[in-house]
Structure formats: C-alpha cells, structure tokens
Structure 1
Amino acid sequence: MDTKVYALAIGLMLISLTGPGEGWQLFPQAIDEEIYAVCFVDEMRGWCVGSGGLILATVDGGRSWHRQRAPVDLDLFDVCFINPNVGWAVGEGGTIIRTENGGVTWVKVGAPTSRSLYAVHFIDDKTGWVAGGLGTMLQTTDGGESWIERGNVRVTITDLFFVDDRTGWAVGIGGLILHTEDGGLSWVKQESGVQSFLYGVHFVDSNEGWAVGDGVILHTVDGGRRWEVQAKGSWVLKSVYFPNPALGWAVGNGGALLRTTDGGRSWRRERVAVEDDLLDISQGGTKVWVVGGRSILMEPNVPLPERPARTEVELDESVRMPYEPIVKLCSLRVNSVPEGAEIILDDRPTGLKTPALLEELPPGRHVVKLVKTNHGHVERAVFLREGESKEIEIRLPSRSKQISIFAAGLTVAGIAAAAVYLFSGAF
C-alpha cells in the first residue's frame, strides 16, 4: 500500500466569532468533500472524516491539516481514536477501516454487514462497537479482526456511547434509545417519551446523560430509567457533548451551536460565522472541536465548572432551526421481466433476486445490473435524490443463444483458412 501522506494546502484563517472571554476559531477547509465527524486524542492530534473517503489529520492543534489516504472512496460517517496511533472509521456500505500508525496507513476491516454504519465507539484497542442501518449493532473484542452481531431491533441506529466496558447507550430514529449493562451482549429499550429522530447521545457517568435530535434535548439522571424533555423546538440537533455535568454543547443544522453552563437548565446560541450543518463534537485537552460541511471550529481554554442544580426549560425561540435529517437515505424497488434475476448494485452483489427492495441507499447515481441464466445481463443507471423511494422495471432478453457457424474453404490474402463466427444475444 502506498504509505505517502498527501498534504493538503490549506490557507488557514482564524476568525474570532464570540465576545471577550469566549473565542471560537474557524478553520475553513479548501476541500470539495463534506466533513461528517471529528476525534481528538489530545491538544495537538486529531482526525476528521467525511464524504468520498475523506480523512484529514492534524498534529499541531489544527493550525494545519493534511489528507490521509483511505482504502475506500465511500462516505465515512464516524471516527474514533483511543490513542495517537490506533483508530477506526466507519461508513457507507458496511465500511470499517483501521489504522495502527496514526493514519499513515489505513486498512479495510471485514464486517458481516453491507448496511451503512453511522457510529463507532472503542474503549481500548480491543473492545469496541459499531452501529448503523436497520438496527445493525456489531461488537469486537480483538480490535476489529472479527465482529459479532448484537442487535435486536430493526430501526436505524445513529449514535452510541459507552462510559465503560459494560455500560452503554444507543439512539436512533423514532425516539429509539437502547441500553446495555453487559458490554453489549444484550440491549434493552428505554422509554424516551418522544417519536423524534435522535442523532446524538453522551453521558458524563453511568447515571447522567443527554440525547438530542429533531426538535428535542432529552436528559436523564438515573441511567435512562427516566428520560425527560429538557428543551424542545423545531430545529434538529446532530450531536451533544458534556465534559462535565454542567458544561455542554449541542450542534446542528444551519450552523446551530448551543452552549449550556448549568447542566442544560438554560441554553444560548454561540455566534459562529458558518451556515454549514454542524454534525459532531470532540474534545482534546482543553480544546473543543466542532465540524460540519467544510468547516472546523475550535474553542480553547475550556473550563470545568461546578455542577449546578437542574431544572427543565424550553429552548428560546431564537435558536429554533428547520428540520433536516443528518442522512436522508433512499430506497429502490427493482422489478424485472422475467423475475428471478440476480441484482448487482454498483458492482457489488446484493444477494437478492428480483423483485426486491433495496434499502438504506445513499443519494446519488447507482448502477443496477441484472443477471439471469439464459437471459444475459442488463445494466441501468439510476439517480436517487435524498430521501427518495423509486421503483424501476428492467426487461431482460427473452433468451440468449450462441450460434457457431463453421465456414470451410475461406481464402484470406491467398491463404486457405477456416473461420468460426460467434453470435450471441436475443433471437
């Protein structure tokens, strides 16, 4: 594998976005891709991942960023490092990649799923979990060499978080919250009290945590036995992070960046000069990082205030944002005449035969190839818009024949020869 790290020339511009004593700094990136997730392990070293296999890394606290080469060109939705050397990223089509040298080289890891993975969380170099489409939940205890399926729901999971090797939570669409106390061997549904899409979850210990999503911030102080609405609105939030029980941030669409210093009793919107959808938060040392679109934001000198009393409030109307899910997936129903054709999507076998419904597809251009014995094959390009459900029908040749005609006594340039003509197709 080519181990060269390709430097990305970036003109960095630090912009002060808040008043005295605050100081969000913006690191705009001269890239075509979108940034979906971020992970820092200390003050200086961090990684971002995004669309088309994008991986960016910094070793100088964000002053400069360089590209790292991914072994895939698929979208990467989440990234997790447990030290400066060892990390994982997950994404489209069941993609899991791993590095053991800080990203100088990344290798693809086999996974028993082709569904997109939206979340990855490791607590050490051996034990971790990934989750994604249609309730996919996988666990590894050998650093990703092998994976065991642990899911017991059919609802897409968007985020997960563990406080130790036994206690964790996962959230997803339709207000889904799952909880485990045995390291992910079994998962139990917790009552969220909402039907909203939930996109982010974070706990400061085994009792207190927050979950955010479509128009809601949820809070629990008893490990999720009881979740209560701490704030609500018409916006959608994608990620939440608390370094301690008092101080926290929630980020979302349209550059929404909310901050609390009293455990969520009140929230105020930070002034940031970006309109990108903000999707993820990470802390390294005393710096907090937020990413989304083509923007990377950082706040230095993060304090760790004392824990205040908690009460419920509604979020101020000024921070309400329109709804827009983090990933608008698509579906495609494929029919054929005759039926029973093998479906190959984007050069990868699906294991399905027509008629069949292909779910959890990313928007964009796809190539559907149908193959059936004695009927040859047919390819068709299909474009799916975000959130679209489409149905197509493909007609295969009625039957495929190959006819050989032997012609003797053929003379070419004065030389006697025999020729065999092969014809194939529908007749």
Structure 2
Amino acid sequence: MTRVLTLVLLLVAALVVTPGTAGAGELSWRLTPTGTDAQLRGLSVVSRQVVWASGARGTVLRTVDGGRSWQQVAPPATDTLQFRDIEAFDENTAVVLSIGEGEQSRIYRTSDGGATWTETFRNPEPTAFYNCVAFFDARHGLVAGDPVDGRFRVLSTADGGRTWAVLPSDGMPAALEGEYGFSASGQCVAVAGRTDAWLATGGSTTARVLRTGDRGRTWTASDTPLASSPSAGVFAVAFRNPRHGVAIGGDYLNPTDGTDALALSPDGGRTWRQPATAPQGYRSGVTYHPWFGAVLIAVGPTGSDLSLDGGRHWRQFDDGGFDTVDCARDGACWASGAQGRVAALRLS
C-alpha cells in the first residue's frame, strides 16, 4: 500500500467521527511559503509534489517539491494581468488565462516549466471577457467567456492550447438580461469524460448551468435553485462523471450567508436540487476527491467544508479563507486564495 493511499484511507476514517471530536486525525490545511501576497484564484494540482498557482499582478507560481519552495515563473511583461485560471499537465506544461475586457483576456502556454511562454491567444473583441479554462485531455479544452451579442462566448482548442478558435454561437442559448460568468476560482467551466462540459452563470434573476455533450458546439441551459443577483449565482461547478455534479456559489457581497448556495445534479446537469445541508457561507470553489466519488471539498473566504456522501451533508473543518481547491490523481488536495495563501490538505 502506498503512502498516499494510506493517508487517504486515514482521511476517510478521520472524517466519519462526530463533528467537533478532537484528537488524532483532524483535517486541516498546511500553509506553504509562496513568497507573494498576490491573490491566487487559479490552481492546478498535478501531484502531491507538483502544483501550479496563478493570480493577481501577473503571478504564476510553481512548486516541484510539495510546496517547500515556490518559483515565480510568469510570462515576461505581464505584471498588469490577472491570471485567474491555470491548467497544468505536468511539471513542465501549463496553460494560463488572464481575464479582462478586450486584450486583457489572453492565453499563454509553456512546455519548459515556465522558463519560456508563448502567447497563444489575445482577445480581439472589445466586448468579450473570458473567465476560466478546462481541458478534457492533453489536447482538447474550452475557455468560457461572458456573453457577446446576447450569447456566451466559448473558445476551443484541439492541440493542447497552442491555438484557439471561437466556437459558433448558433448552438448557444440566449443569455438572460445581466447574466454572466464569475472568474472567482477558475471553476466556472468544468468537464467530465471526453465530450461533456458545464458552464456556470449568475448575475441575473436566475442562476443557470449550461451543458454540452459535444465539446461546446451545442449547449442547453438549466435553471438552478441558487440565489442570483449581480453579485450572486453559481461560482463553480464540478462533475465526478457525466451524470453526477455539484453547483456552488452564493453572494460574494454577503460571504457568511450560505442560503441557496449549493445544488446537486443526478442527471448530467439537466435538473438540480438542494441537499439536506450545505456550507454556511458563500463558497467559490469545489472539487470531488479523485479516489472517492462521494467525497467533496468546498472552499470560500469564510472557511472550508467537507461532504462524505456526495454533497447531501456537509461540515466545516477550517475557518481560513481560500478561493479555489483542486485534487490530483494521486489523491493530493490543495487550496489557494488571498495574500498568497496556498495550502495542502493534511491529517494532523
């Protein structure tokens, strides 16, 4: 049995104790010294040793030793950009997205650990604004953007992010008045399997999730029970397979209020229902544990929460603030957020 498997089994055993029970097996985040105070909303965990993070002021960080040391490896002359999302494939290869109107939305790619970067996309449309990126595999990926001319804008790549194309909008349903996506955690778009993806929205009178089964060529919208307003909606979506998923969010202007801030889908995002309990606050990031389909971790500015039953019941295990969370295939889970905070999940 590997060390990582042992830790994960201990994790599950520790979490079935009565909430508030003290002693061995307490779940917590282990902060690592990043050397920056930038807000890190982008996170991609390759393994327990290799993690990439990105954020404000042109920050792109990489560790290859489990967080003992971090290197700033951002593209040159990008200190004014907001790198809100990053997707890494290994210790050398990553794609990073900056957000903003017009040319502020850009995509860069590296294949040598950040020593050099290639700008592979610069947004030419003044009214377009791109929020987050996700990859089905090492070649195929999507970037989700806000509506342009009444329909959400989506980019697609089939060569690992070396080139990008705007997908036709005729397969996209009309956006609601005031509807847009949130770039709070790099999780406003999620993928599962080879062709299924989901796009989270808010800002209008109804928070929706848009779904596609053909890598973004056609989409269908579904209403969720999450609260929606200019500051509220679905901030993150995650699916453990093409059927079972979670939508999480709330109102970032009222971060301690978790009312109508989480919903589950059993049918690929066609329908959504609220669970028995939910995190007690706005949450911007959520992920499934890769080894245990019923284990979910959610994070936000007022704490971190865990579910052991697929999202039906939750309990808070940490009161520190994070913006996003991600787990690697080897079972390692990390979170990142404001003031350069990056942490690994651990049992103490």
Structure 1 runs not aligned, ≥5 long: 1-17, 302-427
SS at match of 1:102: coil
Structure 1 residues 150 and 20: CA distance shift in structure 2, 3 A: farther
Partner residue of 1:265? 312
- Alignment partner of 1:66 is 2:112: no
Kept in 1, the 8 Å contact 2:132–2:143? The answer is yes
Gaps of 5+ in 2: 1-21, 183-187, 251-257
Give matches, 1:214-293, under 5 Å: 214=250, 215=258, 216-230=261-275, 231=277, 235-243=281-289, 244-254=292-302, 256-272=303-319, 274=320, 276=321, 278-284=322-328, 285-293=330-338
Confirm or deny: 8 A CA contact 2:283 2:299 kept in the other structure.
yes
Aligned partner of 1:148 in structure 2 is 166
Instruction: Name the stretch that deviates more: 133-142 or 198-207.
Output: 133-142
- Deviation of residue 271 (structure 1)? 2.7
| Distance in structure 2 (CA, Å) of the matches to 1:148 and 1:172 | 19
Which amino acid is 1:121 matched to?
A: A
Letter in 1 for 2:193: D
For 1:132, the equivalent position in structure 2 comes to: 145
Q: Secondary structure of the residue that 1:207 maps to in structure 2?
A: coil
Instruction: Give the equivalent residue in structure 2 for 1:20.
Output: 24
* Conservation of the 8 A alpha-carbon contact between 2:226 and 2:234: no
Letter in 2 for 1:147: A
**Would you say 1:176 and 2:208 are equivalent positions?**
yes
User: Letter of the aligned partner of 1:156 in structure 2?
Assistant: Y
Larger RCO (alpha carbons 8 Å, 6+ apart): 2
Tell me which residue corresponds to 1:82: 89
1:111–1:146: 8 Å Cα contact kept in structure 2? no
| Residue pair 2:226, 2:249 contacting (<8 A) in 1 also | no
In 1, distance between residues paired with 2:238 and 2:49?
A: 23
Q: What does residue 157 of structure 1 align with?
A: 181
Please give the alpha-carbon distance, in whole angstroms, between the structure 2 residues aligned to 1:281 and 1:238. Answer: 9
Contact 2:226 2:263 in 1 (8 A): no
Amino acid in the other structure paired with 1:210? V
Identify, as 1 or 2, the structure richer in strand. Answer: 1
**Which residue is 1:359 aligned to?**
none
1:106 equivalenced with 2:117 (yes/no):
yes
Are the equivalent residues in 2 in contact too, given 1:286–1:300 (CA < 8 A)?
A: no
User: Aligned residue for 2:50?
Assistant: 45
The answer for the alignment partner of 2:40 in structure 1 is: 35
Q: Alignment partner of 2:282: what SS? A: strand
| CA offsets 1:52-86 (integer angstroms, 9 cap, x no match) | 11011000011111111324220011111123332
Q: How does 1:373-388 map to 2 (within 5 A)?
A: none
- SS of aligned partner of 1:52: coil
**Out of 226, 240, 245, which is 1:209 matched to?**
245
Distance 2:23 2:47 in 1: 26
> What TM-score comes out, normalization by structure 2 length?
0.75
SS of structure 2 residue aligned to 1:110 = strand
Which of 112, 126, 131 is the matching residue for 1:118? 131
1:124 Cα deviation from its structure 2 partner: 2.6
Contact 1:86 1:125 in 2 (8 A): no
Q: CA deviation at 1:195?
A: 4.1
- TM-aligned CA distance change 1:44 to 1:132, over 3 Å: same
Against the structure 1 CA distance between its residues 296 and 59, is the aligned structure 2 distance closer, same or farther, given a 3 Å change threshold? Answer: same
Q: For the residues of structure 2 that align with 1:37 and 1:109, how far apart are their CA atoms? A: 18
SS of the aligned residue for 2:271 comes to coil
* Aligned-partner SS, 2:96: strand
Q: Structure 2 counterpart of 1:238, which letter? A: S
When the two structures are superposed, what TM-score results if normalisation uses the length of structure 1? 0.62
Q: Output the amino acid matched with 2:24.
A: P
Are the structure 2 counterparts of residues 233 and 36 from structure 1 closer, same or farther at C-alpha, using a change threshold of 3 Å? closer
SS of 1:57 mapped into structure 2: strand
State the AA in 1 paired with 2:40.
I
Q: What letter is aligned with 2:156?
A: Q
The change in CA–CA distance for 1:248 and 1:150 in structure 2 (over 3 A counts) is farther
Paired residues of 2:33 and 2:67 also in contact (CA < 8 A): no
1:48 alignment partner, SS class: strand
Measured at CA, do residues 210 and 67 of structure 1 come closer, stay the same or move farther in structure 2, by a change above 3 Å? Answer: same
Rg bigger for which structure? 1
After TM superposition, give the deviation of residue 161 of structure 1 in Å.
0.9
- Decide whether the 8 Å contact of 1:88 with 1:98 is kept in 2: yes
